[in-house]
Amino acid sequence: MNVVIVDYQLSNIFSLVNALNFLQIRNKVSSNKIDIKSADALILPGVGSFPEAMGQLESLDLINAIKNFIKSGKPFIGICLGFQLLFSKSHEFKITKGLNIFDGEVKKFDEKNNKVPHIGWNNLELNNNLNKYQFKKKLNFENSYYFVHSYYVKPNDNKIILTFTDYEKTKFCSSILKENIFACQFHPEKSGLNGIKLIKNFLKYVK
């Protein structure tokens, strides 16, 4: 399998490359549309602001390449900001349109109820609407995953939600699963062996 990690010149992808190398999965960091099209699987990572990320994807002419890859049915993983970018719009700094793969918006935690940012290890709670998916059996919900974010996703369709996470007074969508797309707010590549296995199991699940 040839996995391409999308490089839009914002993310620190060192941990992600190390995770794939640990799994002995061939990978390449690229912002080349040809590489994206020919990949067996695509990962959209992200650390930074939503408006800046969309600006970078547009300036690098990668938006249609990513959308076309997703339509191909091949495995796609979105991580942290790369998860948020899949939705219709974000309220980070200003209202910015996203990739619009899914209907929904990205909102900031209410600082009256939550300490911002949400940093550290937290648990996942399965959305029972996804009982038909066998992939959920590959997740160990007794383990924690590593989060670092100030904004969270509110999908319009709750049936795409794989897990929820409770953070102080807010329960938010922490991952989604639909067909060939898995995306999460947490960082599986920074979540120890359990997180690394999650990447492996999804790639096997779709393949």
Catalytic residues: 80, 187, 189
Q: Between the CA of residue 54 and those of 16, 66, 72, what are the distances in Å?
A: 21, 12, 22
Beta strand 170-178 with 118-122 is: unpaired
Q: Is 185 exposed, middle or buried (0-12, 13-18, 19+ CB in 10 A)?
A: buried
What token pair was written down for 116? 């911002």
AA letter at 42: L
Total Cβ atoms within 10 A of residue 80: 26
Pick left, alpha or beta for residue 127 (phi over 0 → left; psi -120 to 50 → alpha; otherwise beta).
beta
